[in-house]
Amino acid sequence: MEWQQELKDRMSGMLLLDRMNEVRELDPLHAFALDDWLCRRTGQGGPSICHLWRHPQAFILGMRDSRLPHADEARGWLEAGGWRTAVRHSGGAAVPLDLGVVNVSLIMPKPSVNHMHYHNDFELMYRFIQEALRMTGEQVDKGEIGGAYCPGDYDLSIGGLKFCGIAQRRQTHAFIVQAFVVAEGSGAERAKLVRSFYERAAGAARADEVGNVSEYPLVEAGSTASLEELAGLGPQAGQAFARQLRRIVSEGQTEAGLSSAAERLAMPTAEELERDIAALRARYASVSH
């Protein structure tokens, strides 16, 4: 199929940055800052990168969420419950991250500075995840799921239940497509947590009379499920899913592409990353936490 060939072509010189098991307690913005740094490098001639990562317990807000009238109080409630909070600069709304959520970042150069084909880039991530789940025999659909948290046109679902959301961050010469994949545990419990956050953060803000969300998503527990629940991958669904992602990347890689990519790879120093984390927090957080 045409999209399968495109996916393979994109992987020919892509490097895999696998941080699935680097789960020590890190700043929630660590992975986002790392993605940003690598994206700048990719835009300067560095290689494309597939970044896999998890966080032990973080609640990531969208910029609009951070502006809700009682967002600070709601963040305090989350942090009292052990959730580290941060505001992300890519699109999308609030998502909880834990060890049962696999995060996937595809970092790639733009074909040109004026490249505006956003949907093609979202489509690539959709096809990547769809291919990774092909062995389950389940049909992966795209399209907004009513009642799901972080709703969007590229909600990914199985049997009408969302398990993945996709966001994008674009720089001048490169871009990042980020997906959170609810792999293990209860999707409903995560949805309940997000709903509780919005109830505290929004206060009197409500949907308008025709049911369109004016201030925040109206999250329903029955909208979301995990791959463990949906696809028969068992309690280690996150690792099983990540293995399939690694397979797809490795099958697309070529010796020449890998050699060229390795020569162009650079990683940030700890000091550079800390500086970028501080800059993200100062720019996007409503308050310091």
Report yes or no on 209 lying in a domain.
Answer: yes
Look at residues 287, 251, 227, 267 and name the one whose alpha carbon lies nearest to residue 10.
251
Does residue 200 lie within any of the structural domains? yes
The pLDDT of residue 180: 97
Query: What is the pTM assigned to this prediction?
Result: 0.92
Q: Mark residue 125 as left, alpha or beta (left: phi above 0; alpha: psi -120 to 50; beta: remaining).
A: alpha
Question: Whole-angstrom Cα distance, residue 286 to residue 264?
Answer: 37
* pLDDT at residue 285 in the model: 60
Which amino acid would we find at residue 195? R
| Cβ–Cβ under 8 Å, residues 21 and 55 | no
Q: Which of 237, 247, 243, 248 is nearest to 99 (CA)?
A: 237
Choice among 39, 50, 150, 164 that is catalytic: 150
Query: What are the b/e assignments for 165-186, b being 16+ CB within 10 Å?
Result: bbbbbbeebbbbbbbbbbbbbb
Q: Is residue 60 part of a domain?
A: yes
Return the pLDDT at 90: 78
What is the reported pLDDT for 209?
31
Has residue 275 been placed in a domain? Answer: no
- Cα 28 to chain centroid distance, Å, stands at 13
Q: What share of the chain is helix, strand, coil (3-state, %, to 5)?
A: 40, 20, 40
**CATH for 70:** 3.30.930.10
Residue 199 lies in a domain: yes
pLDDT at 91: 76
**pLDDT averaged per 10 residues, the chain (length 289):** 81 95 89 96 96 97 92 96 91 93 96 70 95 97 96 96 95 94 98 97 58 70 97 94 97 93 95 94 63
Q: Is 150 labeled as catalytic in the residue annotation?
A: yes
Residue 158 lies in a domain: yes
Position 271 in a domain: no
* DSSP string across 144-190: PPTT-SS--TT-EEETTEEEEEEEEEE-SSEEEEEEEEE-SS-HHHH
Per the CB < 8 A criterion, the answer to whether 54 and 20 are in contact is: yes
The whole-angstrom distance between residue 116's C-alpha and the CA centroid of its chain comes to 20
pLDDT of residue 119: 78
The answer to whether position 277 is within a domain reads: no
Q: Which domain holds residue 52?
A: 2-266
Number of domains observed in the structure of the chain: 1
Closest by CA position to 37, among listed 265, 268, 264, 279: 268
221: phi then psi, degrees, rounded to nearest 5: -60, -35
pLDDT of the residue at 288: 39
Cα distance between residue 222 and residue 225, in whole Å: 8
